[in-house]
Amino acid sequence: MKRSFLILCTILCWKTSIAQKVTYNPDYISTNFPGKVTKVEQTGTETILHFSMKAPIGSRFLIAARTYIENSGEDTERLYIKKSEGVNISEWFQISHSGEVRYKLYFPALGRDVKKINYGESNPKGNWFIYKLDLIKNGRGFIKNSSEPMYANGERVFFGNKHIENDDYASTGERTMLPKDLPKAFFGNWYDKHGTLILITTPDYIVSNSRVQYYQNIKRTGNINFTIKTNRGSLEVLNIEGDIMTIRQDKLSTLKRKPSNNIILGFMKGEWLHWQRVKRITITDDYFYNDDRGSMGVYDVIKSRIDHVAISHSGDIIWFVLYREGNYQLYTARKTNGKYILTPRGYPGARYTKIKN
């Protein structure tokens, strides 16, 4: 019995180690792929590639049904895409108002000893290819200091962290930190002396200036000093002591932290109606259900998970960070003339008012 128990524990530990294998912003060579590979997850059953792409608003792209990954440099079987999240396979995706899209592609599991992979499209007109994507990094310096790729022989070479024992690449970036390695005291809702919410900080994103921002580079400059670069700006953390933090953005600020319990207040739950009476949003404990109503009735229902909630000290403004298919979106509810007006970030004319619980 004891031996069987030890064998079972060994198997479970092995499976756990496989499930936890994650490579952040790996090095790779790309001939013409316009986006970036931000993360690769490997489990015992699948391989998940995370992508981020910036493009002009209105431009389109398509994930081919014959998209594949394969062991780089080995004559092995190609592993074809199984499903996607954030975009649909074989359907044109149009870049929205943000100019950026994040999505995931799912493939069968790789072998345990695979160190580098290729990504490509085997359909006749396929033209997106990635070569020698490195899976062996430890993810401890994965973000490039420069947003521009280097070029070698006409091919774009993307570098992650300083990686001496790699004869295929030479790193140009300094070692950086992962967001999850920032002090726990950094994460929360940060207010100025007037009770105005200035920052929301989580291991996945920062909300600043009413925008969801993603980490690009985190550099330690002292024991509790950090310079954080996001896709929309930079933030210098000068000191954190308890629930007090001093930062420099466009100016020097001292902020006070209040952890979020992410509880939806009772009066926010229920049905909200667009001022033109053509759309509805239903808020529950965990989700926003966005009902778009056309002349023939409901034609689309978008379900978004509530990831984070923050409230101003006065209670006049409530922030909601929603997650759906790899993307985060910000909503605010502002109290005006005694009533809250719900508005999605980027659409000031899309105003919703509460009509029933």
pLDDT value of position 261:
77
pLDDT value of position 48:
96
Residue 276 lies in a domain: yes
- Bridge partners for 248 per DSSP: 236, 252
pLDDT digits (tens, 9 = 90+) for 6-63: 555 555 555 444 456 888 888 887 666 778 898 899 998 999 999 988 877 778 899 9
- Whole-angstrom Cα Rg for the chain: 23
Which of 158, 188, 212 terminates a domain? The answer is 158
Same domain assignment for residues 194 and 72: no
Same domain assignment for residues 30 and 153: yes
Same domain assignment for residues 41 and 109: yes
Same domain assignment for residues 133 and 33: yes
pLDDT value of position 143:
39
The boundaries of the domain holding residue 149 are 20-158
Number of domains in the chain: 3
Same domain assignment for residues 33 and 124: yes
* pTM, to two decimals: 0.56
Query: The domain that contains 335 carries what CATH number?
Result: 2.40.128.210
Q: Which two tokens stand for residue 105?
A: 């592609």
- 253-267 CB burial, b ≥16 within 10 A, e <16: bebbbbebeeebeee
Same domain assignment for residues 209 and 249: yes
The ranges of the chain with pLDDT < 50 are 15-18, 138-175, 295-296, 298
8's enclosing H/E stretch is helix 2-19
- Bridge partners for 241 per DSSP: 244
